[in-house]
Amino acid sequence: MSEQHGGSVLQAFTGLSSEEIEILAMADRFAQKEVYPLAQRMDDEEWWPTDIFPKIGQTGYFGVTAPTALGGAGMDLFTSGLILQAISRWNHALGLAWVAHENLCLHNILRNANAEQQQRFVPGMCKGELIGALGLTEPGAGSDALGSMRTTARREGGHYVLNGSKLYITNGPIADVLLVYAKTDKDRGAQGISAFIVEKDFPGFKVAQKLNKMGFRGSQTGELVFEDCRVPVENLVGGENRGVKVVMSGLDLERAMISPICLGIAERAFALALDYARQRKQFGRPISDFQMVQAKLADMYTRVESMRLFTYQVLRAATVIGEDGGGRGEIHKLTAAGVLYVAETMNQVLNDAVQVHGGSGYIWESEINRLYRSIKLLEIGAGTSEVRKMIIAKELLAS
């Protein structure tokens, strides 16, 4: 097979252009070399490698969608998804930290902040010198994050004073820049929410606790507290009581970017199961000789490929939506369906992968066990599977 013909076949298999295939391959090589060696210690100790974000920034894997004038790559959301897929193959905990920084914070600032705010924060985030996070979920507000929000912000001269707390915040304990939502008009419900850029050294802001997780260990997750936290008016994003617009502009993009994490994890689990089946011998033969194991491998392959196609379809659709196009309609339905399917299918892949590994897959220190402990989060975060079904049904019945 010629190189040219082989390339066209690969494009047909993956749904990627030759340039996208090369981007994914380069990111994969970087991730295998630089982030995979960190994974075991991150899981063992809930350890955060402080030098990895600057290293990612130096490589150009932050600020993917940011303009070059701000230190970014000037590329699109689909390219971000490919980089996230590669990182998540080799270190899914770091993939989660990457997406919280890159998509939930940096990309949201790009879409909603004014030019002065972008100039202040985006270059440092592109370099990995500033770590970003998103502060939305609260102790009493998960799936109903907007309607049940209790964190408040009141205007006092040149500042807003924030009071309340946020929970389960990825990157929270290590973040330098946080995009935080608070109610500025209690009487208006969800329409009275505003978005703020909170910097870690603002008086009244603190990390109450770092949380110890079952999976995605090493990705730092915490509870944040605001006690008369003074935020300059200049850090208000998108205007007072305009927070819902900021949330909705990024919500579908967040769901679209969860799928590459699932895909990367499933790809790695399948590769581990395939290698183990070839090497592990029982009754004098590799277990890959047995039809029961072959059936599981065939199922895993089919599921991973279906995940790949749906992930890329949703990413391409999310890439072209405008700033006001999220939170409703076809893209709202599609992103919910995509992450619903991909997260639940990943669960099936991981279950079979652990089964192929047998007893070794049940051991905490094994890589397949580390992957298996991660999967439940992806059926909960960015809207639970149940909420995703509600969104799909609502959009179907409204059409």
Angle value at C-alpha 172, between 166 and 175, nearest 5 degrees: 135
- The answer to whether residues 320 and 335 touch, using CB atoms and an 8 Å cutoff, is no
Which residue, 380, 174, 130, is CA-closest to 261?
380
Residues 6+ apart with CB under 8 A from 26: none
Query: Is residue 395 annotated as part of the catalytic site, yes or no?
Result: no
Alpha carbon of residue 91 to chain centroid? 13
Residues 6+ apart with CB under 8 A from 25: none
Which residue, 268, 170, 148, is CA-closest to 224?
170
> Per the residue annotation, which of 34, 138, 254, 379 is the catalytic one?
254
CA distance 103 to 77: 9
Residues 6+ apart with CB under 8 A from 118: 70, 109, 110
Residue 13 main-chain phi, psi, to 5 deg: -65, -40
Identity at 28, one-letter amino acid code: D
Which residue, 139, 111, 115, 341, is CA-closest to 248?
111
63 Ramachandran zone, left/alpha/beta (phi>0; psi -120 to 50): left
CA distance 154 to 148: 18
- The answer to whether residues 52 and 38 touch, using CB atoms and an 8 Å cutoff, is yes
CB neighbour class for 152 (10 Å; exposed up to 12, middle 13-18, buried from 19): middle
For 102-129, the DSSP string reads: IIIIIIHHHHHS-HHHHHHHHHHHHTTS
CA distance 67 to 125: 13
The pair of three-digit structure tokens given for residue 26, joined into one six-digit string = 């380069």
Distances in whole angstroms, Cα of residue 194 to Cα of each of 133, 166, 169? 16, 15, 18
* Residue positions annotated with a catalytic role: 254
